[in-house]
Amino acid sequence: AAGVIQSPRHLIKEKRETATLKCYPIPRHDTVYWYQQGPGQDPQFLISFYEKMQSDKGSIPDRFSAQQFSDYHSELNMSSLELGDSALYFCASSLGTARTGRETGELFFGEGSRLTVL
């Protein structure tokens, strides 16, 4: 079965550069979530989208932005990168959200994009 696809899997950038991560959700899943997991940390919710609209926001820095496109894929844009942005960035998808009443609470995670900022 198709899973959540993330690209690139690994990315190395220098401080103050920009980076873009991509996420392709499971087909027919309409909700996408972004999580950040720093070294030795638990995943932290950044932001989510339902039907191409931002549905929830977590601890996403102002330097980061994200969007969901008409084909439901999502991109996380990170600018003015800092050393502390080095982390594993997970995208997850689900079918439905609390707003639709169809949420299941089960998220399917991609394999993650590892960002290293030098």
**Contact flag: residue 36 with another protein (CB under 8 A):** no
Output 62 or 106, the one with its CB closest to another protein.
Answer: 106
Kindly indicate which of the ranges 13-21, 68-76, 78-86, 104-112 contains the residues binding another protein, using the contact rule CB under 8 A: 104-112
Least CB distance from residue 19 to another protein, whole Å? 19
The residues near 39 (Cβ < 8 Å, ≥ 6 apart) are: 86, 87
The residues near 48 (Cβ < 8 Å, ≥ 6 apart) are: 31, 32, 33, 34, 54, 55, 56, 57, 97
Site string for another protein, 1-20 (x = CB under 8 A): --------------------
Out of 33, 49, 64, 72, the only residue in the binding site for another protein (CB under 8 A) is 33
Q: What CA–CA distance (Å, rounded) separates 4 from 73?
A: 10
Output 45 or 79, the one with its CB closest to another protein.
Answer: 45
**Contact flag: residue 41 with another protein (CB under 8 A):** yes
Out of 12, 53, 98, 118, the only residue in the binding site for another protein (CB under 8 A) is 98
